[in-house]
Amino acid sequence: MPYSINVNGAVREVDVDADTPMLWVLRDVVGLTGTKYGCGVAMCGACTIHVDGKARRACFTPVSNVGSAQIRTIETLHETAVGQALQRAWRELDVVQCGYCQSGQLMSAAALLEANPRPSDDDIDMVMAGNICRCGTYGRIRAGIHLAARYLNESTTGSGQ
């Protein structure tokens, strides 16, 4: 049946079965391929998106469950201050290797920083353990989250460099 979903600020009509995961709605129907397929069973985090600001695995989020929620994907992460800070930190530390998991890593990290602006290593581990990276960029991801937190803190306190 047809569903109206709100993706990155635009309403999209999609005509798919109720159980169709948002992963495939986004990638194959809407045409936003930044959200990646990795496992299909919510074990790798490559498909992480934001549903009303909360990190969700798109492969386990049926289209019929999202209703009128605001969905954000990697393609508009830069529209948020947290997203910008993370992308800047990722660039500064050259976190990526193959890059395939990084959309999901960034979306998980963004949700973490929105909820917890100064996460500890343990806080980061707890959230980010859901995102697998086979290239092994974990150390840089953790450092990147800390660096992004610092950027955000600097911009809110106006303490500059």
Partner 1 sequence: MSAGNPTGLSRREFLAVSLAAGGGMLIGFPLAGRTQTPTPLPAPSAFIRIDRSGRVTLILPYVEMGQGSYTAQAQILAEELEVALDAVTLQAAPAAQVYASPILGEQITGGSFSLRGAWATMRLAAAAARTMLIDTAAQRWRVRAASCRAENGRVIHSGGRSFSYGELADDAARRPVPAAPTLKAVDAFRVVGQPRKRLDSPAKINGTALFGIDMRPDGVLHAMVQACPVLGGRLVSVDPAPAMSVKGVRQVVKIDDAVAVVADHTWAALKGLRALSPQWDEGANRNLTTADMVAAADAALARTGLVFTNTGDVAKAEASAARRFEATYRMPMLAHAAMEPLTCTVKVADGRCDVWVGSQVVGRAHKAAAEAAGLPPDSVSVHNQYLGGAFGRRLETDYVSQAVLIAKQVKSPLKVTWSREEDMQHDYFRFHNHSLVSVAVDSTGQPQSWRHRVVAPNIMARWFPGFQKDGIDLDAVDAAAGPYDIPNVVVEFTRNEAPAGVNTGNWRGVGPTRNVFVVESAIDELAHAAGRDPLAYRQALMSKAPRARAALELAGRESQWGTALPARTGRGVAVFEAFGSHLAMVAQVNVSRTGHARVERVVCAVDTGIAVNPDIVRAQIEGGVIYGVSAVLYGRVTMDKGRVQQRNFDTYPVVRMNEAPKIDVYIVPSTAEPGGVGEPGTSGVIAAVVNAVYAATGKRLRTLPIDPAQLRNA
Q: In the complex, which residues of this chain contact partner 1 (CB under 8 A)?
A: 16-17, 19-21, 23-25, 27-29, 31-41, 43-44, 46, 73-75, 77-78, 87, 90-91, 94-103, 106, 124-126, 128-142
Q: State in angstroms the smallest separation of the CB of 146 from partner 1.
A: 13
Q: State in angstroms the smallest separation of the CB of 127 from partner 1.
A: 9
Task: Indicate the residue among 69 and 132 with the shorter CB distance to partner 1.
Answer: 132
**What letter would DSSP give residue 59?**
G
Cα(79)–Cα(145) distance, rounded to whole angstroms? 18
Q: State in angstroms the smallest separation of the CB of 161 from partner 1.
A: 20
Task: Indicate the residue among 67 and 139 with the shorter CB distance to partner 1.
Answer: 139
Cα(157)–Cα(153) distance, rounded to whole angstroms? 6
Task: Indicate the residue among 52 and 79 with the shorter CB distance to partner 1.
Answer: 79
Closest Cα to residue 10, out of 86, 70, 89, 67? 70
Q: State in angstroms the smallest separation of the CB of 158 from partner 1.
A: 26
Cα(12)–Cα(123) distance, rounded to whole angstroms? 35
- The encoded tokens of residue 48 equal 């992480």
Q: How far is CA 62 from the centre of its chain?
A: 17
